[in-house]
Amino acid sequence: MVSENRKPVSGNSAKKHAHLLGFGLDNHDGHVRVTRGENFHLFGGSQETHEQMQEQVIKLNEKLNHRGKRLEDVSHEELTDIAHELGVKILPEENSEK
């Protein structure tokens, strides 16, 4: 009998991780703004920009939760689609075949 909690043993036990990084580049007031969450870090920006980044990452996580997914579960294309819906700019996917 196998317990439902038992994790299968496999040769590859590495967990998949994903993290969002946000950078605000319009800080002219000397304040250092950093916000950390379970799957994101936001750095810099004016107060207004930093607040916008916070709002966008919260909404993005809400959309993921609504879909029953985590950041680790979505493809770059799906993340880009969600970000586009929210007006978030996403850097192009890095080509790993260099």
Q: Check residue 85 and give its pLDDT.
A: 92
pTM passes above 0.85: no
The pLDDT profile of the chain, 98 residues, written as one tens digit per residue, is 222 333 444 545 567 889 999 999 999 999 999 999 999 999 999 999 999 999 999 999 999 999 999 999 999 899 999 999 998 877 776 765 54
Q: Check residue 5 and give its pLDDT.
A: 34
Reduce the DSSP state of residue 58 to 3 states and report it: helix
Contacts made by residues 80-88, CB under 8 angstroms, sequence distance 24+: 86/56, 86/59, 86/60, 87/56, 88/56, 88/60
